[in-house]
Amino acid sequence: MHKAKGEVVSVNESLVGVRTTDGAIMNGEVAYIIVEDGKRLKSEVIDVKEGNRAYLQVFEDTNWMKVGDPVEFTGLPLAVKLGPGILGSVTDGLQNPLYELGKIEWFLERGLEVDPLDNTQKWHFTPMVEEGATVTGSTVLGSVPEKLFEHKIFVPFSIQGNHTITHIVKEGDYTVDEPIATIQDSTGKSMELTMAFEWPVKRPMPFTERSVPIKPMPTGIRILDALFPIAYGGTACNPGPFGAGKTVLQHSLARHSQADVVIIAACGERAGEAVEVFKDFPELIDPRTGKSLMDRTYIVGNTSSMPVAAREASVYMATTVGEYYRKQGLNVLILADSTSRWAQALRETSGRKEEIPGPEAFPMYISTLISAFYDRAGVEILGDGNTGSLSIIGTVSPAGGNFDEPVTQATLLSTGAFWGLSRALSDARKYPAIDRIDSNSKYPSQLEQEEVTYLLELLRDGKTIASNIILMGEKGITDESYIRYQKAELLDAVFLQQNSFHEVDGVTHPERLRLMFNMIQEIIDTPVDIKGKEEIRSHFNFIRQAFLDWNYMKPDEEGFDKQKTKLLNLLKQMGHVAENV
Amino acid sequence: MLQKTYENIDSIGRAILSIKAQGVHNKELAEVIYPNGQKAFAQVIALDGDEVTLQLFGGGFGVSTDCKVRFLGKPIQVGFSDDMLGRVYSGNGQPIDRGPELLSDMVRVAGPSINPVKRLIPKDMIRTGVPMIDVFNTLVRSQKIPIFAKAGEPYNRLLANIATQTDADVIIIGGVGLKYDEFHYFRQRIEEAGSKNKTIMFIHTHRDSIVEGLMVPDLALAVAEQFALQGKNVFVLLSDMTQWSDYLRQVANAQDQIPANQGYPGDLYSQLASRYEKAADIDGAGSLTILGVTTMDDVTHPVPDNTGYITEGQFYMKDGYLELFGSLSRLKQQVNDRTRPDHRSIMNAMARLLSEAEERVKAQKFGSVKDDYSLRLLEYRKTFQTELMDPFRYLELEDALDLCWDILAQHFKKEEVGLSSKLIEAYWPEKGKFKILKEMIHE
C-alpha cells in the first residue's frame, strides 16, 4: 500500500487536523507528525473528512507543533507486538517498556520509542513442525520457555489459507527478531517468520471455539468467592466512589487471584499505584508457583498525567495481550483500572471533534464500545482441545459516586458480576466495602447455591432488624430478633470483612473458605438460650474476638486447632447458658 | 528566531483573543502590545489554519483591535535559582515583593511526567503533630493530598501549620484566588515560624487575571520539581484548587468547548491530575509533596469529586474539626505498620466504634437510644471529638496513640473493642492510670 503524506492544518490539544497531500488514508491507521525539533509524534487517524482532511489523535503532547508540520502515514493500524518477553514487563500505553525509557530520560519525553520486546534476549526454541508440513494462522511452530510456562510460537494469526514450511530452524537460542521459519503459500510466495508478530489492538482475536464461563476463579477474597464470585473467562465490574477501596481491592485481586497471567491496565489512574505493583511484585513469592509474583504479571501504565489519547490504546493493548495468552491455553485476568478514565478520554476527543454529545457529554457510542470491550473476555476451546480463558475485572469511577451515569450503566449491562463499593461501608471500616445486599453475580460460587442463599438471607434479615433498632431502640425488639441481628453482624465481622494488609487474613484459599463457612454455619445454627440484650451482645463479642484471633492464625500454626476448640466451646456455652445458671 | 508582529486581531473575549498569523507554534508565548506601548503576556492555545487563539494573561478587558501581538518564539518558562527563596512572585512569574528581578536559569513549565520507574514507593512518614493526621490518616512524604472544606474553615492555617511544623527543605506556596488577607496571613505565618528563607510564594489574588491564576500551580510545581531533582524534600501548598478549576471552566467556555458536568470541561480530571501527579519521591533525588485546598459544599461536586479520584486521600475539615469520616490517607498503610505495633489496630478499632456511635446519633433523633452500651458509645463520640479532632492540638504520635487507649478504656470493656487479645494485654490501661486523658468526673 502506498503510504500517504500530509501536513498539519489545525492543532487543538491532542486533536490535530491534517490535510493529506498524497496517497490514500485509512481510518485507524497510525501516523507520525514531525515537529520542528525532528521528534516524531505518534498518532492515530480517528476521522476522515472531505477535502483530504483527516483528524488525528496524538499520543503525545502537541506543544510547539505548528501549521504546516509534515505528517507521515504508516498505512497500518495501531498494533501490539506479541511474542515471548511480555511477562514481567512494564510498558506505557503504546507498549514502550518503561524501564528502557528510563535509561534514556528521567521524564517521559515525547517522541521516544523503544522496541516493545527485548531483541537482544535469546529464547531457547524447540521446533514442533518439520519442513514440508502444512500450516496456517495460529498453527504452533514450536515453543520457548518463558518464566512459568512453555510459550507457544504461532504462525501469525493473520495468515490465511494453507502454507507449506520450506524451512525451519533447529532447536537453539534465537531472539524474537531472528527468522525461525519460512513458509510458502499456494502461489509459491515465500514469507519469513520470527517468534513475534503484530496484531491490531482494536480488532478482537477470533475465538477458535467459544465456551461459557462456569468455573469459579478463586480470588482469595471471601466476600467475592462466597457470595459474588467471578468465573474463569467471566467479567466483573467494581464501581464505587473514591475512597471506598477500589484500589486496595484491585491490588488484592492482582496478588491472590488464581490466574496464570495477570495483566494490569493502569488507565488514567495514579502513577504511584502502578509503582507499588511493579516495585513490590518482583519481591513477592507466589506460593502457588514458588516464583516471583512479577513473573505472571504484565503492567500497562498509562497513568493520569500521561497523554490522554493513549489511554484508549492502553486498554485495548492490555486486552490484545490477554487474548494472546489465552491462545496459549492459559487463564488470564485483566484488571482494568479505570474504564471511566478511558471513557473520559473518549469524551475529551469527542468534544474536540464537536460531535453531538450524549448524556454527561459522553459520546453516544460509549455504551457500544464498553460492551464490545467486555465481550473480548471469555473461555476459548483451542485447536488442541485445551482451554484458555480471559477474565476482565473493570473498575468504574462514577462521578459523585452515583451509579446512575452512562459509564456505570453501560458496564452493568456488559458484565456478569457487579461489586458495588459503598462509602457507608468504607466509613465504617468494613473492608472490603462491597455492598452485601446490592452486589450480585451470575457465576457459580465455591459454596453450594443453598449455602449462598442462606448467608444472603441472614444478611438481609440483619439489615432489616438494624433499621428497626434505629427506629425503636434495642429495647423495642425481641431477644430473638436481636440474636438474629447479632448473627448477621458476626457473619459480616469475621467472614465478609477481611484485612487485605494481613499476611494470613489477606487471602483465604478455597479449603479455608470451606472451613470458615462450616464454622459460621455452626454458629448460625446453634440455638441461643441467653436472655437480655447486654448479655447477648457480650456473648457474641467473645465469639467475634475468638473468631478473629483464629482468622489471623496460619492453619499449620500451633494453637490453630486449639483456637477452633475454644470457639466451639464458646458456642456450646451459648446453647447451655440457661442450664449452667 | 524571527519575532513577527501581527496586527489583524479578529476577536477579543474575556480571556481569549484570536488573530491571523503564520508560523506560530502551539503553546508559544506571545506579547500583546497596547497602542500606548504597554505589554501583557499571552499564550497560544489553538491553531486552525492561520487563525491563532491565545489566552490573555492580563484578561481581555482593555485590549483593542489596534493592539499588536508579537510571538516570542519560546514556550512559557519560569526562573529557577536558590535566590528565589524568600521571594514572592505573581502568576506570570514576575516578582511582586518589590525586590530586584533575578537573573536565573529558565526551566520549562508543565513538562511531561516523570517516568514511573523513577518513582520510589513512598515510605517516610511525615510527623505533623496533628492527631487526626498522624494516627488516623498518616501523611507520607511525596503524598498529594488536599483539605476538603467549606470556604471559611481555617484550612489555610492548617496548611501553613503542617508546612512549617515538618522538616521540609523547601516550601512553595501556590496561592490561587486568595483574598488579600489570606495572602498576608500566609506571609506572616511563614515569617513567624522562621521559615521565610526556605519559602517561595507564587500568588494570585482576586484582583489579578484568571489566566495568571491558572498559571500559579504550574509555576510552583515547575520550581518545586527542580528543587526535588536537586535532592531537596519540597512541600507545595496549593490553595485553592476549586477556584483554579473555576478559572479553567471560564477559559474552556470562552473557547466554546462542550461542557461535561456543571459546565466544567470534559478534561477537568486530566487537568487536575497533571498537576497533582507532579508529587513524587524520586529515585536518587528528593521528593515533592503536595498539600492542597479544595473548597466545597458537597463532596459530589465535580471539583472535589475529580480531585478525590486523583489525590492520595483528603483531609475533611468541618466546623473547625478534622473529621474522621470523609478523611483518608491512601498512603498510610505504607508507614503505619512501622510506627508502633498497635497503631493500625487501634486506628481501626477507634474508627469502627465511632461509626457505631454515628448510627446511634441517627437513632437518638428517634428517641430510641436508651440502653447502656449505646449511651456509652455516644459518650465515647463526645470524648473523641474534644480530645482528638482539634486540628490545632499538637501531640506526638506516641502520645496520641496512648490517648486513644485511654479513651477506649474510659468508655468500653476490653471485649467490646474488637482488638486482638495480644494488644489488649500490652496496652490496655488500668482505670485511673491514664497516660494522657484527664480522668472524667463521673465513673
How far, in Å, CA of A550 to CA of A538, rounded? Answer: 19
| Pair A437, A506 in one domain | no
Q: Could you tell me if residue A117 is inside a domain?
A: no
Q: What is the CATH number of the domain that holds A217?
A: 3.40.50.300
Q: Is B297 an interface residue toward A (CB < 8 Å)? A: no
Q: What are phi and psi of B184, to 5 degrees?
A: -60, -45
**B84 and B160 share one domain:** yes
Q: Does residue A516 share a domain with residue A485?
A: yes
- Whether A282 is in a domain gets the answer yes
Residue predicted with more confidence, A139 or A475: A139
Q: Is the same domain home to B187 and B323?
A: yes
Q: Are strands A261-267 and A417-418 parallel, antiparallel or unpaired?
A: unpaired
Range of the domain at A65: 5-78
Which B-chain residues 303-332 have CB contacts (< 8 A) with chain A? 305-306, 308-310, 312-314, 325-326, 328, 330-331
Task: Please tell me whether residues A147 and A246 are part of one structural domain.
Answer: no
Burial string for A48-64 (b: 16+ CB within 10 Å, else e) reads beeeebbbbbbbbbbbb
Q: Write b or e for each residue in A257-284: b if 16 or more Cβ atoms lie within 10 A of its Cβ, otherwise e.
A: bebbbbbbbbbbbbbbbbbbbbbebeee
B421 Cβ under 8 Å from any chain A Cβ: yes
Domain count, chain A: 4
Question: If you search the block for the grid coordinates 525451519, which residue do you land on?
Answer: A168
Does residue A110 lie in a domain region? no
Predicted confidence at residue A576, as pLDDT, reads 58
Do B172 and B259 sit in the same domain of this protein?
yes
CA–CA gap between residue A11 and residue A194 (Å, rounded): 39
Q: Nearest CA to A506 among B333, B171, B354?
A: B333
Tell me the pLDDT tens digit for each residue of B242-291: 999 999 999 999 888 889 889 999 899 999 999 999 999 999 999 999 99
Q: Give residue B440's pLDDT.
A: 54
| Per-residue model confidence (pLDDT) at position B415 | 86
Task: Check residue B257 and give its pLDDT.
Answer: 87
Among chain A residues, CA nearest to B261: A360
The pLDDT tens digits of the residues spanning A448-464 come to 999 999 999 999 999 99
Q: Is residue B104 part of a domain?
A: yes
Residues 351-410 of A with CB under 8 A from B: 351-352, 354, 357, 360-361, 397, 399-402
DSSP 8-class letter at A496: I
Residue B49 touches partner A, C-beta closer than 8 Å: yes
CB-based contacts of B333: which residues, under 8 Å, 6+ apart?
A501, B344
Judge contact between B57 and B42, C-beta under 8 A.
Answer: yes
User: What is the structure's pLDDT at A427?
Assistant: 84
Task: Give the N- to C-terminal CA distance of chain B in Å, as an integer.
Answer: 82
pLDDT the model gives residue B443:
42
Q: Do B119 and A272 touch (CB under 8 A)?
A: yes
User: Which residues does residue B178 pair with via DSSP β-bridges, in sequence order?
Assistant: B205
B-interface mutation test, from A306, A354, A408, most B Cβ less than 10 A away: A306
What is the CATH classification number for the domain harbouring A190? 2.40.50.100
Minimal C-alpha gap between A142 and chain B (Å)? 34
CATH (domain of A508): 1.10.1140.10
Specify if B268 maps to a domain: yes
Mean pLDDT of A347-356: 89
For the segment A244-259, the average pLDDT, to the nearest whole number, is: 94
Same domain, B193 and B166: yes
The mean per-residue pLDDT over the stretch B290-302 comes to: 95
Residues B377 and B270 in one domain: no
For position B256, what pLDDT does the model report? 86
Same-domain status, A436 and A458: no
Instruction: Reduce the DSSP state of residue A168 to 3 states and report it.
Output: strand
A139 and A247 assigned to the same domain: no
Tell me which of B289, B308, B335 is where a domain ends: B335
Whether the predicted pLDDT of A396 surpasses 50: yes
From chain A, pick out residues whose CB is under 8 angstroms from the CB of B337.
Answer: 501
**Would you state the pLDDT for residue A428?**
84
Query: What angle, rounded to 10 degrees, do the helices at B155-165 and B180-192 form?
Result: 20
Domain match, A183 and A306 both: no
Indicate whether B306 belongs to any domain.
yes
The residue out of B52, B75, B98 marking a domain boundary is B75
Q: Per the structure, how many domains does chain B have?
A: 3
Give the mean pLDDT of B52-67. Answer: 91
Q: B415 or B228: whose pLDDT is higher? A: B228
pLDDT of A580 higher than 60: no
Check CB contact of B121 with chain A, cutoff 8 Å: yes
pLDDT band at residue A2 using 50, 70 and 90 as cut-offs: low
Asked if residue A100 belongs to a domain, the reply is no
Tell me: do B274 and B409 sit in the same domain.
Answer: no
pLDDT exceeding 70 applies to what percent of chain A?
Answer: 98
* Of residues B334, B329, B331, B114, the one with CA closest to residue B221: B114
Residues A237 and A328 in one domain: yes
How much is the average pLDDT of A11-18? 95
Q: Could B24 and A401 be called an inter-chain contact, meaning their C-beta atoms sit closer than 8 Å?
A: no
Domain range for residue B362? 343-427
Is there a single domain that holds both residue A185 and residue A62?
no
Instruction: Flag if B277 and A304 touch (Cβ within 8 Å).
Output: yes
Please report the pLDDT score of residue B368 as a whole number: 77
Interface contact flag, B363 A470, Cβ < 8 Å: yes
Residue B327 grid coordinates: 478523611
Residue in A78, A31, A77 with CA at minimum distance from that of residue A55: A31
Would an 8 Å CB–CB cutoff place B193 in contact with chain A? no
Residue B435 inside a domain? The answer is no
Sign, CA torsion A367/A368/A369/A371: positive
Please give the radius of gyration of chain A, using alpha carbons only, rounded to the nearest integer: 28
Interface of A with B in 283-302 (CB under 8 A): 301
Say which of B26, B229, B305 has its CB closest to residue A62.
B26
Whether chain B has a CB inside 8 Å of the CB on A469: the answer is yes
Give yes or no for residue A100 having a pLDDT over 50: yes
pLDDT at A578 (0 to 100): 42
For residue B440, is it within any domain? no
Residue A95 lies in a domain: no
Position A3 scores a pLDDT of: 87
Residue A215 lies in a domain: yes
B172 and B252 inside one domain:
yes
Q: How far is residue B391's CA from residue A269's CA, in Å, rounded to a whole number?
A: 30
- pLDDT band at A22, cuts 50/70/90? confident
pLDDT for residue A401 is more than 90: no
**What residue has cell string 492548617?**
B158
CATH number at residue B16: 2.40.10.170
Residue A203 confidence class, pLDDT cut points 50, 70, 90: very high
What residues of chain A lie within 8 A of the CB of B268, using their CB? Answer: none
The answer to whether position B441 is within a domain reads no
User: Which of B23, B266, B309 minimises the CB distance to A348?
Assistant: B266
State the nearest Cα–Cα gap between B301 and chain A, in angstroms.
Answer: 7
Final residue belonging to a domain, choices A441, A469, A500: A441
Q: What is the pLDDT of residues B75-115, one digit of tens each?
A: 999 999 999 999 999 998 999 999 988 888 899 999 999 99
pTM: 0.94
Q: Is B432 part of any domain?
A: no
pLDDT digits (tens, 9 = 90+) for B382-391: 999 999 999 9
pLDDT of A183 over the 70 cut:
yes
Look at B326 and A427 and tell me if their CB atoms are within 8 Å: yes
Last residue of some domain: B302, B335, B368?
B335
Instruction: Find residues 170-199 of chain A whose CB sits inside 8 Å of chain B.
Output: none
Choose among B122, B124, B162, B131: nearest CA to B146. Answer: B162
How far apart are the C-alpha atoms of A365 and A114, rounded to whole Å? 33
CATH number at residue B298: 3.40.50.12240
Structural element, H or E, at residue A490: helix A479-491
Contacts of B274 in chain A (CB under 8 A): 304-305
Q: Which of residues 19 through 38 in chain A touch B, CB cutoff 8 A?
A: 36
Contact A64 B416 (CB under 8 A): no
- B374 and A474 in contact by Cβ < 8 A? yes
Say whether both B347 and B327 belong to one domain: no
In chain A, residues with a C-beta closer than 8 Å to the C-beta of B415 are 538, 541-542, 545
Looking at residue A516, its amino acid is M
Q: Based on the fold, state whether residues B355 and B317 are members of the same structural domain.
A: no
Residue B442 located in a structural domain? no
| Local confidence band at A579 (pLDDT 50, 70, 90 cut-offs) | very low
Any A CB within 8 A of B259 CB: yes
Asked whether residue A345 carries a pLDDT value surpassing 80, the answer given is: yes
Whether residue A437 is found in the same domain as residue A453: no
Q: Is the separation of the CB atoms in B26 and B55 below 8 Å?
A: no
Q: What are the Cα distances from residue A464, in Å, to A226, A461, A488, A579?
A: 22, 5, 11, 31
Residues in chain A: 581
- B175 and B88 part of one domain: yes
Q: Look at B337 and A61 and tell me if their CB atoms are within 8 Å.
A: no
- pLDDT average, residue stretch B223-227: 97
For chain B, count helices (H), then strands (E). Answer: 12, 21
CA separation for the pair A54, A131 (Å, rounded): 46
Stretch (H or E) spanning A322: helix A309-327
Residues of A in contact with B117 (CB under 8 A): 90, 98-99, 101-102, 275, 278
Residue to substitute from B270, B359, B381, B422, interface A, most A β-carbons within 10 A: B270
Residue of chain A whose alpha carbon sits nearest to that of B344: A501
Region B336-363: what's the mean pLDDT? 92
Asked if residue B441 has pLDDT above 80, the reply is: no
A534/B337 CB distance under 8 A: no
One domain for residues A153 and A236 = no
Q: A411 near A251, Cβ under 8 Å?
A: no
Question: Residues A256, A262, A268, CA angle at the centre, nearest 5°?
Answer: 105
Q: How far apart are CA A425 and CA A433, in angstroms?
A: 5
A107 falls within a domain: no
Q: State residue B2's pLDDT score.
A: 59
Beta carbons within 8 Å of B147's beta carbon, 6+ residues apart: B155, B158, B159, B291, B292, B293, B294, B314, B315, B316, B317
Is some CB atom of chain B closer than 8 A to the CB atom of A490? no
Of the pLDDT bands very low, low, confident and very high (cuts 50, 70, 90), residue A446 is very high
Residue A278 domain-assigned?
yes
**Pair A370, A288 in one domain:** yes
- Residue A566 is which amino acid? K
ipTM of the complex: 0.91
**Same domain for B154 and B255:** yes
Domain shared by B300 and B366, yes or no? no
Counting other chains too, the contacts that A201-204 makes at CB distance below 8 Å and 24 or more residues apart are A201/A77, A201/A78, A201/A79, A201/A80, A201/A313, A201/A316, A201/A317, A201/A319, A201/A320, A202/A28, A202/A77, A202/A78, A202/A316, A203/A77, A204/A319, A204/A323, A204/A372, A204/A375, A204/A376
A212-239 mean pLDDT: 98
In this model, does residue B370 exceed pLDDT 90?
Answer: no
B283 preceded by cis ω (within 30°)?
Answer: no
Coil/strand/helix, residue A253? helix
- Whether A1 shows a pLDDT value over 60: the answer reads no
Q: Are residues A215 and A187 in the same domain?
A: no
Radius of gyration of chain B (CA): 25
